[in-house]
Structure 1
């Protein structure tokens, strides 16, 4: 009886034990060693040797660059006339001089890691660069002097002859002679919120001066920026006692009054200010959602005549549907509109630079347009304003106009999709005749080419690579692309020794089942095809860029490989609505920013899972930062059955609360009627009731790019909908998390391990930022 009575209980215990064992077998073990392996790969770029960076031409015959190996960085200069390459400075002497000059104390600048910014040659043949947020000048013997520090309120914009710099003080424009330090005030009527050359796009606000110096350095083209009626943005810091208020001008979509500019030309020797005879212009650009977006600062859509007597510029309408090419007589201020372009969606002038040119020598202009559905160059007559002919034609885009030589009538440009059979995102260098004809390819390797053209257009440095193949850097002839010399050839031996494995490029079909999409997949270095892996989508939806972020070689792609090391398949897919392809591809969801490429992400992940049995689509996660933070939250709310976990950093969850020039460019004018608007659908908080999975909202409390209130709007709606969610507000952090980046990454890893993989991460793994 006793045995009989206990048998069912024993059987039940055995069943529970078996079930428990089965569950344990399915639960991944994520160990400290896994995290250490992921940690090692997170900041692995220094393990790539001889990948040339920071190439800068000092003049037509000298360029400088940074080379790197296991011993550290080396700052080198090549003389193309002699072919000789040598260190630009004695690194030990320069480090010692900078440490003395900047009083670096217990954090000295090291000779093997100088950390110098872009180098320019001054008029007296000294070298000017930024280091530790300070501008300095040094001669060849490492005798250095401080120009100004980032903390100083008056950073300068260097003149063409490199003898002076313009800066803003008390809302007015000044110039400083570099040799003597003499300062001259050029304007006198600038006041708060109506100052000269001031830099404020709302999402970006600095103390630098936005100017374009004339070729003879006697004139400055700039503007008086009118923000007197522009709305404010407010943030407060976190501290003991009364918080400190930050306040600045930050226009929003739909605002009746937004920032405007009044264009002026200033004669430096006489201090005469000539206001151009035109109505105030929009604070807009053909290139991005600011008037200064190029890598070298300056004013993108303003170009001087070589004789400094005339000025060409492009005005852009508030919603970017119209662009007007104009020429100003700088002596009289008279302005003439030469031609214009209207598009139904939004006009832009390429990627990287404003790809138009002013050629008064031949009374012509080179103009960029996507009117054929591809980004091409066109030649216009400046007298009649009529189109002469297309310079480039066919499929593929001009992405960046680098140089025009009106004498040889040659144009050099970077382009994508123009060579059949290679990845349409690979950038290559071309040259073409202004008079038409087939362009000549100067970089034939099927790779992504990063080029730096010499000032005279005779040579260029070309670093070419792919996602899986490290770079080779060559000096080449700009006439025909022939190799002049090899600069460096990257070596990834140390990277491989650290456990790096190459990512896997792939293609999938878009939402329409026809359009080819390109992406990159990251698998664990100990990948086992017999296992099933959860999948995480890293997303940045654009519209100004995509998730993959370039096709050149990178040791790390954000932390995609590191996350994969913890037992995930990680993918990045450039969906429709992102640039570099056709205009219609880019405009796929213009006016519907709620789209966020999500239909393509889901379609692509489903195709990959059907193709690879080791992808477990029942465990799909997604994460992103900024626009990706918006998109990842939208993903889990719009596809609650598909995405189980979302990690959303610093998201612009409702673009009605983000700066005006972003959404007004891609969503269009905010139109309200009967209590509703065409912006309603893109607001993530309106979908809070759909949440089923795990959502983490992350935001810095001093984010002066995307205000933290946009994440709080989503949190408020989730609370009202009685939803469980997670939130991490980072005190005093900006849009990027700075020194706390590693902490946020570790928390992100933990979140996916717990909630998507069902594992337990090691307790409070101490992920650290790299040390200088």
Structure 2
């Protein structure tokens, strides 16, 4: 239910309110047909119209990979043979559809299988992930699938496993202890015995996420496991209460907050699997921190990011981070004694990071070296250290531009392959390209030269790579390349957007504006109505995500629908997204722009950028400016409505972390710093708290939150609600019962409410009553 402090508003009153803020109401009455035309450009409608857009592949071995192709006839799962350069069906689609249909108890279309991933299980069966469940399917004969395992439901025998490198064993957490299962026989063995509630082994709990998966790293020989015992016994709780008839469902878990004296700590251990022995490393407990983000596990492989075994399994390297992320220590552990040696460390004034998407440091014990990532020269470059002395040997890469991801190191040839941005003059600084470089230094070799964003997937032996390159305006071309010289070995797929263009779809328009300093280029995307008329005046809506860990625009690869930007534009708006200063991928100074002042939220850049666009384009109506965002974007939207109220007339803030003292400790302590309070009770976190600025609201504000949001607790929005009531301010509130952070099944409803709110309050128009979004049904 939508709550409104003024009571129910009539459409006419809404239009009048828009006029009172300077919005020149057009007075149009939009119909269901208008909304239906806009809905044509929502992701679930336009994505299926892009044919042969293969963004990634999954290698099966050194010479074969599979991928999902799509065209007007449906989905096709193909297996590519590098030797022949040909692709064929990865399995019998009809047989698998029939087998899955029997397991699900309902028909499954062979052309719309909906498989997220598949792999060959050790026993030869097909391991299929479909709609949150794993199915093992025997494709021999008529083909049969088992009943499936629900990935989202805990329970004995249903725990998610981490498979050993030899694929013979799977490690998992049960009753706060680490167990291992023999894949062939199903026999289970308990590896640790002293795990207790909130002090368990390999447990996954970052506060904002808490799952049943195991966080660990197997040794390459599959004989040992590196993991930790995670002590949360003194960590404070988070509690959510469900909405239902009868006694409410209560969820309670450990959730450390900024400034807490006691936060989650980890004790590092090495487990000998065969001997069932636990070796505790001889060091003090470490902070639950990462050099990559705000959790020990946040990379794409769901592993333990800052831990690497030697290739011969003879030693273990890891990086420890200080609570405030300003210091990182590179350490090596003796796997027989538990002794730990600190090889070197790096201290920085703001925060240390080791890459984008994955950690970039590499442990090379055979040559007694370490590849280390650092932004010490204002750019993310690689450096080679001596493992024995801890001394710097030399820089591997130099100059402007960032190494974003180290994908492979060949110790024998002393060659390293990496993705990088901003290293080529005249190329969009957000486009990732692919390089190789010698560990001994020298100029990197560009292996993927097209001025586009490149998604790279290396073969297991590193000889080849699949390269899908595209831009926000050009669909992907996917080729197979030689990893030594970048030579194209063959084409895997070339996207066709004919069916998409036939709907009238238009690509977003890239643009640049100057930042708050008047000289730094900021990059953004603009979305116009497909029926754009330059003689008209259009309200403008700024979609925002302020970071600091990412930005508003998102990936620079092709995407036919970025959120609902084009659909919203279709209702008569100009929609923009601008990556402001304080977001990543550019220089360290750019990223540090508002360190220690997270209430900034890139808003000085949004304001000057919008004003520059308003001067550049007469069809932008700067008297009607709106903003919306989700999570960090919800936070930023409220900040804009409170502190820049003369510019922003309408805002929609979804699931915002409005006071980071009420959010999990690690995220804000990295970007704002540790909480420091004076004798007067004031702290360095006071200014970032949105509720402290509620008196500044002038325009229309819609606050939304899911009541079971276990990422950003709903109390964050209620703090703002409380302050607005005390300030006697008018606002709108939408609480979605039992919804998580992204709203789940209620997300189409939230999208429609978002459209309604901007149509009524920013455009001054009348929206159709209770339009029903029509996402495809499973």
Decide: shared fold, TM above 0.5. Answer: yes
Instruction: Determine if the alignment matches structure 1 residue 554 to structure 2 residue 559.
Output: yes
1:124, distance to aligned residue in structure 2 (A): 4.3
Correspondence for 2:253 = 248
1:54, distance to aligned residue in structure 2 (A): 4.5
Instruction: Determine if the alignment matches structure 1 residue 756 to structure 2 residue 762.
Output: yes
1:58, distance to aligned residue in structure 2 (A): 1.3
1:139, distance to aligned residue in structure 2 (A): 5.1
Instruction: Determine if the alignment matches structure 1 residue 49 to structure 2 residue 54.
Output: no
Correspondence for 2:640 = 635
1:422, distance to aligned residue in structure 2 (A): 0.8
Q: Could you say what secondary structure the match of 2:642 adopts?
A: helix
Instruction: Determine if the alignment matches structure 1 residue 721 to structure 2 residue 727.
Output: yes
Q: How many Å separate the matches in 2 of 1:603 and 1:28?
A: 30
Please tell me whether the aligned partners of residues 583 and 590 of structure 2 are also in contact (alpha carbons under 8 angstroms): yes
Please tell me whether the aligned partners of residues 536 and 568 of structure 1 are also in contact (alpha carbons under 8 angstroms): yes
Q: Identify the match of residue 403 of structure 2 among 384, 398, 410.
A: 398
Q: How many Å separate the matches in 1 of 2:29 and 2:239?
A: 45
Correspondence for 1:413 = 418
Q: How many Å separate the matches in 2 of 1:483 and 1:128?
A: 32
Q: How many Å separate the matches in 1 of 2:534 and 2:197?
A: 64
Please tell me whether the aligned partners of residues 24 and 764 of structure 2 are also in contact (alpha carbons under 8 angstroms): no
Q: How does 1:617-632 map to 2 (within 5 A)?
A: 617-632=622-637
Instruction: Determine if the alignment matches structure 1 residue 109 to structure 2 residue 108.
Output: yes
Greater C-alpha radius of gyration: 1
Q: Could you say what secondary structure the match of 2:37 adopts?
A: helix
Of 438-447 and 145-154, more deviation after overlay is shown by 145-154
Q: Assess, with a 3 A threshold, how the Cα gap between structure 1 residues 388 and 318 changes in structure 2: closer, same or farther.
A: same
Correspondence for 2:135 = 136
Unaligned segments of structure 2, at least 5 residues: 1-18
Correspondence for 2:713 = 707
Please tell me whether the aligned partners of residues 307 and 317 of structure 2 are also in contact (alpha carbons under 8 angstroms): yes
Q: Assess, with a 3 A threshold, how the Cα gap between structure 1 residues 752 and 200 changes in structure 2: closer, same or farther.
A: same
Correspondence for 1:72 = 74
Of 399-408 and 45-54, more deviation after overlay is shown by 45-54
Q: How many Å separate the matches in 1 of 2:537 and 2:29?
A: 14
Can you list the C-alpha shifts for 1:612-636, whole angstroms capped at 9, x where unaligned? 0000000000000000000001101
Q: How many Å separate the matches in 2 of 1:215 and 1:707?
A: 40
Q: Could you say what secondary structure the match of 1:274 adopts?
A: strand
Correspondence for 2:38 = 38
Please tell me whether the aligned partners of residues 122 and 183 of structure 2 are also in contact (alpha carbons under 8 angstroms): no
Q: How many Å separate the matches in 1 of 2:111 and 2:477?
A: 23
Correspondence for 1:696 = 702
Q: Identify the match of residue 737 of structure 2 among 731, 735, 746.
A: 731
Please tell me whether the aligned partners of residues 25 and 763 of structure 2 are also in contact (alpha carbons under 8 angstroms): no
Q: Assess, with a 3 A threshold, how the Cα gap between structure 1 residues 611 and 28 changes in structure 2: closer, same or farther.
A: farther
Please tell me whether the aligned partners of residues 313 and 325 of structure 1 are also in contact (alpha carbons under 8 angstroms): yes
Instruction: Determine if the alignment matches structure 1 residue 490 to structure 2 residue 492.
Output: no
Of 310-319 and 129-138, more deviation after overlay is shown by 129-138
Q: How does 1:21-32 map to 2 (within 5 A)?
A: 26-32=26-32
Q: How does 1:112-511 map to 2 (within 5 A)?
A: 112-138=111-137, 141=140, 142-145=143-146, 148-150=149-151, 151-153=153-155, 154-511=159-516
Q: How many Å separate the matches in 2 of 1:201 and 1:60?
A: 36
Unaligned segments of structure 1, at least 5 residues: 1-18
Q: Assess, with a 3 A threshold, how the Cα gap between structure 1 residues 166 and 179 changes in structure 2: closer, same or farther.
A: same
Please tell me whether the aligned partners of residues 379 and 389 of structure 1 are also in contact (alpha carbons under 8 angstroms): yes
Can you list the C-alpha shifts for 1:60-80, whole angstroms capped at 9, x where unaligned? 111111110111111111111
Q: Could you say what secondary structure the match of 2:716 adopts?
A: helix
Can you list the C-alpha shifts for 1:6-39, whole angstroms capped at 9, x where unaligned? xxxxxxxxxxxxx9xxx99933343322211111
Q: Identify the match of residue 770 of structure 1 among 732, 755, 776.
A: 776
Q: How many Å separate the matches in 1 of 2:776 and 2:290?
A: 36
Q: Assess, with a 3 A threshold, how the Cα gap between structure 1 residues 396 and 329 changes in structure 2: closer, same or farther.
A: same
Correspondence for 1:609 = 614
Q: Assess, with a 3 A threshold, how the Cα gap between structure 1 residues 581 and 235 changes in structure 2: closer, same or farther.
A: same
Q: Assess, with a 3 A threshold, how the Cα gap between structure 1 residues 24 and 598 changes in structure 2: closer, same or farther.
A: closer
Q: How many Å separate the matches in 1 of 2:263 and 2:60?
A: 40
Please tell me whether the aligned partners of residues 546 and 601 of structure 2 are also in contact (alpha carbons under 8 angstroms): yes
- CA-based RMSD of the aligned residues comes to 1.4
1:438, distance to aligned residue in structure 2 (A): 0.3
Correspondence for 1:677 = 683
Q: How many Å separate the matches in 2 of 1:24 and 1:410?
A: 62
Q: Could you say what secondary structure the match of 1:445 adopts?
A: coil
Q: Assess, with a 3 A threshold, how the Cα gap between structure 1 residues 24 and 540 changes in structure 2: closer, same or farther.
A: closer
Q: How many Å separate the matches in 2 of 1:587 and 1:651?
A: 22
1:134, distance to aligned residue in structure 2 (A): 1.8
Q: Could you say what secondary structure the match of 1:599 adopts?
A: helix
Q: How does 1:579-618 map to 2 (within 5 A)?
A: 579-618=584-623
Q: How many Å separate the matches in 2 of 1:464 and 1:24?
A: 43
Q: How many Å separate the matches in 2 of 1:168 and 1:24?
A: 60
Q: Assess, with a 3 A threshold, how the Cα gap between structure 1 residues 569 and 654 changes in structure 2: closer, same or farther.
A: same
Correspondence for 1:531 = 536
Q: How many Å separate the matches in 1 of 2:669 and 2:147?
A: 42
1:147, distance to aligned residue in structure 2 (A): 6.6
Can you list the C-alpha shifts for 1:484-520, whole angstroms capped at 9, x where unaligned? 1101110111111122111100000001100000000
Please tell me whether the aligned partners of residues 201 and 290 of structure 1 are also in contact (alpha carbons under 8 angstroms): yes
1:201, distance to aligned residue in structure 2 (A): 0.1
Q: How many Å separate the matches in 2 of 1:402 and 1:692?
A: 50
1:570, distance to aligned residue in structure 2 (A): 0.3
Between 1 and 2, higher relative CO (CA 8 Å, sep ≥ 6) is seen in 2
1:148, distance to aligned residue in structure 2 (A): 3.1
Q: How many Å separate the matches in 2 of 1:25 and 1:64?
A: 53
Correspondence for 2:11 = none
Correspondence for 1:566 = 571
1:769, distance to aligned residue in structure 2 (A): 2.3
Give the length in aligned residue pairs: 748
Return the TM-score normalized by structure 1. 0.95
1:541, distance to aligned residue in structure 2 (A): 0.3
Of 109-118 and 452-461, more deviation after overlay is shown by 109-118
Can you list the C-alpha shifts for 1:343-391, whole angstroms capped at 9, x where unaligned? 1100111111111111111111111100010000111110111111111
Q: How many Å separate the matches in 2 of 1:242 and 1:149?
A: 26
Q: Assess, with a 3 A threshold, how the Cα gap between structure 1 residues 427 and 393 changes in structure 2: closer, same or farther.
A: same
Please tell me whether the aligned partners of residues 291 and 300 of structure 1 are also in contact (alpha carbons under 8 angstroms): yes
Q: How many Å separate the matches in 1 of 2:147 and 2:170?
A: 14
Please tell me whether the aligned partners of residues 739 and 769 of structure 1 are also in contact (alpha carbons under 8 angstroms): no
Q: Identify the match of residue 668 of structure 1 among 673, 681, 684.
A: 673
1:81, distance to aligned residue in structure 2 (A): 2.0
1:203, distance to aligned residue in structure 2 (A): 0.1
1:307, distance to aligned residue in structure 2 (A): 1.4
Q: Could you say what secondary structure the match of 2:76 adopts?
A: strand
Please tell me whether the aligned partners of residues 75 and 112 of structure 2 are also in contact (alpha carbons under 8 angstroms): yes
Q: How many Å separate the matches in 1 of 2:259 and 2:521?
A: 36
Return the TM-score normalized by structure 2. 0.95
